[in-house]
Structure 1
Amino acid sequence: MFNTTRLVTLLIIGLVNWGYAQPSLQEKLPVDEKVKIGQLDNGLTYYIRENKKPENKLELRLVLKAGSILENEKQLGLAHFIEHMCFNGTKNFEKNELVDYLESIGIKFGADLNAYTSFDETVFMLPIPTDKEEYIENGFQILEDWAHNVSFEHEEIDKERGVVEEEWRLRRGAQQRMRDQYFPVLLKGSRYAQRLPIGKMEVIRNFPYEEVKTFYRDWYRPDLMAVIAVGDWDLAKIEEKIKQHFGRIAGPENPKKRTYYDIPDNEGTLVSIATDKEASITQVQLIYKHEQNKTKTVADFRRNLVHSLYNSMISARFTELSKSAKPPFLGGGSYYGNMLADKNAYQGFATIKEGELEKGLKALVRENERVKQHGFTNSELERTKKQLLVSYERSFKERDKAFSGSYLSQYMNHFLKESPIPGIAYQYETVKNLLPTIQLEEINALPKKWMTEQNRVLIVTAPEKEKAHLPDETQLLKLIEEVEKENITPYEDKLTATALMEATPKAGKVLSEKVYERIDVKEITLSNGIKVVLKATDFKNDQISFSAFSQGGTSLSEDDNYQSAVYANTLVREGGVKDFSPIDLRKLLAGKVVGVAPYINTLEEGISGNASPKDLETALQLVHLYFTAPRKDQESAQSFINKYKAYLKNALVDPQAYYNDQLAKLMSQNHPRGGGYPTVEDLDKINLDKAITFYQERFADASDFTFFFVGNLDESTLIPLVETYLGSLPNLKRQETWKDEGIRPPKGVISQEYKKGKEEKSTVRLMFTGKAPYSREAARDMQALGEILTIRLTESLREEKSGVYGAGAGGGLSKRPYENYSFSVSFGCAPENVDELVAATFIEMKKLQKEGPSAEDLEKVKKAWIRQWKENLKKNGYWMGVLQSAYRNAFNPESVLDYEKNLKKVTAKSVKKAAKRYFNFKNYVQAVLKPEQEQ
């Protein structure tokens, strides 16, 4: 019988495709019509786009085609230093007025207001609320001031020298020291090797005031600048503001030439072997450098699709290899992409067990040679095409729900690198047309083109103790040559199953319903006892998020089975479900948008996941299988344990890891379940059978689980699926809860000093803990206390004393496993400044106890909270968190709508009271990390 419905469908598809005729490969890629690009007479470029999500917010960026690469020898670090100075006084905002003003309208320094400096660019980020004309005007004035009106007061320059040095200090460690060894090899003959943005501290400490002003005058100029404005405001008004503020900036009369530097080619293979006492793991990188190609035409776009397909397929191969019974490395991969400056690169990397460098390097080269000799298979390509197409399809479906921030990097890259911005509608249609034309042969030809004997760099980084046993340069190159001559067997792509479940389980049914009308949330109870909470939203077109929890967790495990219980969830995720390994699941679910992950933590077990509405049934099938059919796989379990042991072997040589481990033990009074890094002996206690049994026990009874679904829900579709796949889960009618494991922090005043590492830097943490009754009001007061103290410490420790790059404070209250609070302050600094900065911290804390917060600081915090709350109300993730918290802590979720009203209860008096209650100077821990040998 002829199917008339199918004929109509085909006609519709045909008409749609006729509307998007396949473009010629030589055709230039268009510019998205929804972005307006202009240029002022002085050379400044601007990008503007009107976008309604989030509401009442405009994202501004000032982008400069200048960075550390343009510094002369007297200026090393000054491009980055200027970025700092832009926040320390301009023509219209003296000293710290700029940050103070922005915080007063709800913009957080660091979280919202920020900037970065790289080799070739500097970018300033400024989100501005649009609910008042004054905010918008001042936002553009700030951007203009950064462009040409920075004050550079000498006193402020001298203060900022210390702040920048503390930023440099924070970054120091084994990875940075080894990078300093191999960068001159990787970038041999290039200016990039000597122009790291952080610069040199002897320059930062001593440069003359005029030197930083010279760099600013030379390179902060309109012909090298772009202003990007995307958000909820009228496009014409945005353009008017840009012309008003930036049109009056005069360009220099004799501008310095903006030189673009390259990375020279190299003959043969360059090798760097870098070791460090504090390196915890051996790593290898094999890099093949190539000239970078611009993307201007449809042919270029198609080329990038080919590269994306290759990268996805080689990544899948490496993932599969790393999960084998005896993996040759802890992790590895290869990909082709941007490197730096004028270079792309085909890069291979592997993290390798101690003493197995030769084995790991050979495996890395062998897997790439396997593709070079035999290529990929048709089945791999078809799966990957499906997955790539669905990623573009999702972006296309969400095109009217995209947040303004999602466009910013696109426009920045268009300005900085001439990257295309054709828009997602064009991209999606073009991808649909081009993917069928991409053949396996052209992908399989790429490794021969990419893996060349010239322009190659081999980098090995390793713990210093391995140095004597590492192969030398000649031996390493010989290892690569040996593998290249091997006759390598082809890859076999195995998967026979076509469905997750052969039979549909017997469905349960909905017994009752409850509605929270104010927030449009429905709670249903299924016949097996499961509660399901539904929140339909229109925030995303192609997203459903879900989660579930039940009380219990590893707290219910016996001591002799604790390690097996802790890793039960991990071993199940490594093993898969039913007859499917994780590799099988990835292949089976290609082209579907599904993610499901079970978890077991200390007090709970549960599930989290997401799906496209069309793939929700598949996701719920996976949920059902994770409850009823976890897969036990001895090989994958042993693979995980062996890799983790190898990682742990040297983990604690890293000073920060050692410090965190010791701190966890201190704060739990060495409780065996108190946290910190596990030992190899701990991992030896894991028994797969016991782990699977514990997992099954935690998920054996679904009756006490609560599920949450948030997103683009259609109840007529969702409820039958929930009845089928959740309503059919087992019901043992158990009454379970978590158990208090008895972990408690120490009492009294404890000052502990740890010595580890050779860098002249310290980490300081102050921790205040104790019993305290839980209430949501008290929790809000503590949150305010943390944010206000952070503001105070930024002013005191950073701006006044120049002693830290940043300081953070915060805490919380908990009802489980007992009512308690914890509050901490942390910062990094020079070892010799620890005592002074701790004393200054205590002064600020005691001021809050005596005086409470200023009205200005409290108002800053509240405004930021309210702005964030209003934005969050349009996010699925926020609603998921609200509903979970309400059901965990037994409060009415409708109270989320009373947030602004309830904030009125947070007063200077209540925060002062919180400071008195939680800052107990007779009961705290001071833990300081210092270098092993202080200078």
Structure 2
Amino acid sequence: MRIALNLLSAVAIFFAGATSSLAAPAERTQPWNAETSDLEPDASIIYGRLPNGLRYAIRPNQRPQNQVLVRMTIDFGSAAEAEDEQGLAHFIEHMAFNGSTNVPEGEMVKMLERLGLSFGADTNASTGYTQTEYKLDLPKSDPHLIERALFLMRETAREISFKPAAIDRERGVILAEKSARENFGFQSGRAANNLFYPGTFYATRYPIGTTDVIQSAPAERMRALYRKYYRPDRIKIIIVGPVDPVAIERELVAKFADWRADAPPLGALDQCLLDTNRALSAQSFVHPEISESMSVQQFLQDKKRPDTLERGMIELKMGIASAIISRRMARRSREEDMPFLGGGVTFDFGLCDQYATIGYGVAGKDGSWRSLLAFTEQTVRQAVEYGFEESEIAEQIKRLDAQYENAAKDEGTESSAAIANALVSLDEDVYNSDKYRQLLWQQIRPFITPAAITSEFAFWFRQMDRPQIFLTTKQSAAIPEDEILAAYAVSQGTPIAAPMARAASSFAYTDFGPAGAVIADKTIADLGIRTIRFANGVLLNLKKTDFEDNRVRYSLRIDGGQLHFGTQNAVLALLMSATYVSGGLKAHDIEDLRSILAGTTVSPAFGVADRYFGAAGAVAPADLVRQLQVMAAYTTHPGYSENALRLFRRPLPELYARLDAVPGSALSVAMSSIMNDDDPRFTLPPLKALQGADFEMLKTVLGDALKQNRLEIALVGDLDEEAAIAAVARSFGALPTRADGGKDYSAQLQPGWSAKRGNFDIPHNGEANQLAWRRIWTTTGDNDQKTTQSMDLLARVATLRLTDELREKLGATYGVSAQSDMSNLYLQRGTFSVSTAGDPKDIATIESTVDQVISALVKSPVDPDVFERARKPVLESYADWKKQNDTWLGVVAEAQTSTNKLSRFRQAEANFASITTQDLWALAKLYLSKAAEFTFRALPDEMVSGGLESAE
């Protein structure tokens, strides 16, 4: 049944009005892939093409109000590489930042930083199997800035220099990146790809490439591949933000129209062949640090499926079926003591343009693969044989109703990043508007019946007769294939019963007593924040904005948090954070609560922060009453279900066993313990202590804190203020009287650092060529706003200098960063740190280079250019800072209890703008002229046990 809107008439009307002002020789076109789809494209996006084949999409958008996102994609990735080119697509991406015809080596990143862009190791480009993407997030819609961005995109697209010396310098950076990523997880993924996709580029052409090619590929080979695939008919430019489309088109013409391809068009890259008649097979991957998991997949011969209503209907029904199966697994996992830690169904179209993928995956406790396999296989087979209950499908329908309705209401303030990312990943699909998708959903909703979903799921999964099974385990030896297949056969032969039907229930916590009375109602005029006080002491702060349609951001803060538990009971703070919500409410198990909340944007959120209990999130205005009721119920009627405790404890042995599996984890755990003398407030507790913590202990120590301590609520966004006040009055305002003032926790706020200082070598069980490294200077807490901002800026300066030296010049690491962390709670505690990763053989280079950079910061004021490159992105970020609800929520959350925070908010931009190079120099001399108190080096276990000493 064809129910799409009339595509051709809508497009014709749109283009008739749009093309008159077009900048020749650009030509506006139909939306991408519209010719293969019966779905209506979003008419707000302008599509076009230059005569050379380059395509573009422009979407005017006001969220954020200043930022412009520029994306350039090339239909080229590792799938196109020959044997002696493996890794060169990724290498070319790196070389884009290392000099071009009109940009000297090392100047591109600096040029963009001076314009206010912030860069990171992975921030601005990426290479996949079939696509390379370049990204520039411009801080404002400035014609000069946009011109520079498109100039640099053109340099990248055609003018990369490939100077041999620059290539040689970049080899070390790429090898460091390769080394950092190739741990047991990557090895496991490689083994899985060999099983599932043998002979295809997924198994033979990884974007990172091979060491031999990275080390030795000559410039000419790289340049030839670049010339072959970087061509206008394989490029798309995407620009989203507050822009004038005609001006953008003129700039695209100016930068790209004279570029001509010098060879015939090339074919698509995403073609590959799989044998869909393969026999049932299995393989295991063994590693002492890997978790137990299993993936079962089968590939079915299919057809190329464009973005049509037919495909969408199938995907919708299969998505509902998959969600129901995941819920069934989660519910059984809560109700029974089983080793299951997570799992779900796999279904997808479009693999290699001609295959459908069906299957399932599961993870669990070590040594449990047999029971995991049986549990998952039988749950999926149960759905094939017995289908789905009407109540299960009704729950999912409610979720989809809410999803489509809220997306349509949000559409006017959708973020530019979301739009740009969707266009980048569009592939052969069509970009539709949220309002159109809601209309389409309303039209097809009557056809989404239990019978239709059951039939669709059974059609696909009844074909699962010869899957490939991939197992990962830490057992001492590989599991023989026949043993895995025998366990699979036993499970298949096990009879299964129909699922248990569950009765629906309604929410039990809607009446908290007579509505509370408002006794104070004021406005902070310059910030537009309304402050309310109820008779029972509850504080409410409101900030109405138009930054996000159909969205209210909320914050709930009850005094206490980790400070309430103190040192002696710190383990209970961790227990509460992990289990309090999943423990449900007295009247509702968490799974029942989630079913009740289906079709809303309400979240059962409640946790523990450093100085408060509470929650934060976002909800549709229509759901605000229920969100407040759920949070109020968690303060008054927590369920403390033993199921939650069992689920929390279940993965702990595996989690603790793998704390030293990779260098970064080993370093973080040991560092916290050493620097804080094992203070339980700042370190991971012993496994035995965490396993021994229970709800009776938590209830005893928590006492009446949630019912009695000072409570402050903040609501920001698309608000009906009077309705919001009434909703709080009927929930939190109706509760018993609370404390007027905050608790005195001053005795806890003076923790010091350990007296043990020096170098600490931490063993890890990861790869022998991997190192994590951190050097730390102690500073002070967040006592002065400008000092805190200055230290943050000093860290940005240090990061730029360290990146120049360690990454770009020496190739000793893939990424390095400096960070200032000045606590706003423990006002005597702060650190300035430098962190990196690399190969243990480069320790001496890393440490001497860090010492040199820090010494230079202490010796003299920072170079004005480096200073400007570090501060400009922060300055530019202030343009949209006060036009984001997230920013305001952080301020409004404590508008009545922290007036200092309001003052800081007012002064933040001016304070930052006033920072000088002399300010940074003074702080560098104050805090960095001394020897670093701590240096941590996470090294392979054999190196530490082999004699490397810790100097204290």
How far residue 295 of structure 1 moved from its aligned partner, in angstroms, is: 3.4
Question: For the Cα contact (< 8 Å) 1:324–1:636, is it kept in 2?
Answer: no
User: Following superposition of structure 1 onto structure 2, how do residues 822-901 of structure 1 map, counting pairs within 5 Å?
Assistant: 822-884=831-893, 890-891=899-900, 893=902, 895-901=904-910
Aligned to 1:814, which of 823, 836, 857?
A: 823
In structure 2, the partner of 1:376 is: 388
Q: Distance in 1 between the 2:716 and 2:807 partners?
A: 42
Deviates more, 1:99-108 or 1:405-414: 405-414
Give per-residue Cα distances to partners, 1:401-455, cap 9 Å, x unaligned: 11222112332233xx211212222111001111121221221123433333456
CA distance in 2 between counterparts of 1:172 and 1:698 reads 48
- For 1:697, the equivalent position in structure 2 comes to 704
> CA separation in 2, counterparts of 1:304 and 1:409?
21
User: Are the structure 2 counterparts of residues 834 and 558 from structure 1 closer, same or farther at C-alpha, using a change threshold of 3 Å?
Assistant: closer
Instruction: Indicate the residue corresponding to 1:248 in structure 2.
Output: 258
Counterparts of residues 782-801 of structure 1 (less than 5 Å)? 782-801=791-810
1:8 aligned partner: none
Letter matched to residue 320 of structure 2: L
- Residue 94 of structure 1 corresponds to 104
2:716 aligns with 710
- How far the C-alpha of 1:706 sits from its partner, in A, is 1.7
Question: Aligned to 1:336, what secondary structure does the other structure show?
Answer: strand
Q: Deviations over 1:803-833 (max 9, x none)?
A: 1111111112224234221111100112111
Distance in 2 separating the partners of 1:293 and 1:586: 37
Find the counterpart in structure 1 of residue 288 from structure 2: 277
Quote the residue 1:204 is aligned against. 214
Partner of residue 317, structure 1: 328
CA drift of 1:912 comes to 1.1
Structure 1 residues 899-908 or 495-504, which shifts more? Answer: 495-504
Corresponding residue for 1:725? 731
Counterpart of 2:925 (choices 916, 920, 932) is: 916
Q: In structure 2, what is the Cα distance between the partners aligned to 1:718 and 1:260?
A: 52
- The aligned residue for residue 358 of structure 1 is 370
For the 8 Å contact 2:346–2:359, the answer to whether it is kept is yes
Specify the alignment match of 1:443 in structure 2: 453
Report how far residue 873 of structure 1 moved: 1.7
Note if 1:144 corresponds to 2:144: no
Matched residue type, 1:298: L
Change beyond 3 A, Cα 1:867–1:833: same
1:445-464 paired onto structure 2 within 5 Å: 445-451=455-461, 452-453=463-464, 456-464=467-475
Q: In structure 2, give the amino acid aligned to 1:693.
A: T
CA separation in 1, counterparts of 2:938 and 2:580?
37
1:594 alignment partner, SS class = coil
Distance in 2, Cα, partners of 1:78 & 1:557: 54
2:554 alignment partner, SS class: strand
| Closer/same/farther in 2, CA of residues 844 and 927 from structure 1, 3 Å limit | same
Q: Does 1:534 align with 2:546?
A: no
Aligned to 2:167: 157
1:146-225 to structure 2, matched below 5 A, reads 146-225=156-235
- Counterparts in 2 of 1:772 and 1:205: CA distance versus 1, 3 Å: same
Mapped contact 1:627–1:729 kept (Cα < 8 A): no
> Is 1:557 matched up with 2:565?
yes
Once the two structures are TM-superposed, the CA of residue 646 in structure 1 deviates from its matched residue by 4.2
Answering whether residue 279 of structure 2 is matched by residue 268 of structure 1, we say yes
Q: Which residue does the alignment assign to 1:614?
A: 622
Contact 2:539/2:713 (CA < 8 Å) preserved in 1? yes
Change (3 A) 1:486 1:339: farther
Instruction: Give the Cα–Cα distance (whole angstroms) in 2 for the partners of residues 862 and 758 of structure 1.
Output: 37
Q: Is the Cα contact below 8 Å between 1:114 and 1:124 reproduced in 2?
A: yes
| TM-score, L = length of structure 2 | 0.91
Q: Would you say the 8 A contact 2:777–2:933 is kept in 1?
A: yes
Aligned residue among 124, 136, 140 for 1:126: 136
AA aligned to 1:711 is G
Between the aligned partners of 1:847 and 1:550, the Cα distance in structure 2 is 46
Amino acid at match of 2:687: V
| CA displacement 1:492-522 (0-9 Å, x = unmatched) | 2423422332634222111112321111101
**Structure 1's 323 and 482: CA in aligned 2 closer, same or farther, altered over 3 A?**
same
Tell me which amino acid in the other structure corresponds to 1:412: V
Q: Which residue of 2 aligns with 1:686?
A: 693
Q: Is the 8 A contact 1:295 1:420 kept in 2?
A: no
Cα pair 2:528 2:543 within 8 Å, conserved? yes
Greater Cα shift, 445-454 or 172-181: 445-454
Say which is worse superposed, 613-622 or 889-898, in terms of deviation: 889-898
* Segment drifting more, 167-176 vs 177-186: 177-186
Between stretches 799-808 and 183-192, larger displacement belongs to 183-192
SS of 2:255 mapped into structure 1: helix
How many residue pairs get aligned? The number is 907
Show the counterpart of 1:411: 423
Correspondence for 1:664: 672
Quick one: distance in 2 between partners of 1:294 and 1:773?
Answer: 57
Query: How far apart, CA to CA, are the structure 2 residues paired with 1:382 and 1:585?
Result: 15
Residue 519 of structure 1 aligns to a residue whose secondary structure is coil
Give the equivalent residue in structure 2 for 1:626. 634
Question: What per-residue deviation string (whole Å, max 9, x for no partner) do you get for residues 549-591 of structure 1?
Answer: 2332233337665434431343321211131111011111111
Contact 1:813 1:820 in 2 (8 A): yes
Name the SS of the counterpart of 1:43 in structure 2: coil
Q: 2:316 aligns with which of 305, 328, 333?
A: 305
- Matching of residue 58 in structure 1 with residue 64 in structure 2: no
Q: How many Å separate the matches in 2 of 1:599 and 1:337?
A: 36
Cross-structure match for 1:12: none
Mapped partners of 2:901, 2:754: distance in 1: 35
Q: Which letter does structure 2 place at the counterpart of 1:824?
A: S
* SS of corresponding position for 1:891: helix
**What is the distance in 2 between the residues matched to 1:403 and 1:557?**
40
Q: Tell me how far apart the structure 2 counterparts of residues 59 and 844 of structure 1 sit (CA, whole Å).
A: 33
Matches of 1:644 and 1:268 in 2, distance apart? 38
Q: Percent identity?
A: 24
Kindly provide the CA deviation profile for residues 57-90 of structure 1, in whole angstroms up to 9, marking residues without a partner as x. Answer: 3211111111001111111100000000001111
Letter in 2 for 1:390: A
Give secondary structure in 2 for the equivalent of 1:755: strand
Rounded to whole Å, the distance in 1 between the matches of 2:281 and 2:809 is 47
> Partners in 1 of 2:247 and 2:111 — Cα distance?
23
Distance 1:347 1:527 in 2: 57
Tell me the distance in 2 between the aligned counterparts of 1:339 and 1:878.
Answer: 40
* Counterparts of 1:667 and 1:485, CA distance in 2: 56
Compute the displacement of 1:660 (Å): 2.1
SS of structure 1 residue aligned to 2:542: strand
Q: Please provide the CA RMSD for this pair.
A: 2.5
CA distance 1:865–1:500, shift in 2 (3 Å): farther
Gaps of 5+ in 1: 1-16
User: Is 1:582 paired with 2:590?
Assistant: yes
Does 395-404 or 317-326 show the bigger shift? 317-326
- The superposition leaves residues 431-487 of structure 1 with CA deviations (integer Å, 9 ceiling, x where unpaired) of 11111212212211234333334562211011143x36x4x2122222222222332
Q: Equivalent residue of 2:822, what SS?
A: strand
SS state of the match for residue 398, structure 1? helix
Tell me if the contact between 1:270 and 1:456 (Cα under 8 Å) persists in the aligned partners: yes
Instruction: Please give the alpha-carbon distance, in whole angstroms, between the structure 1 residues aligned to 2:122 and 2:81.
Output: 28
Q: Residue 14 of structure 1 aligns with which residue?
A: none
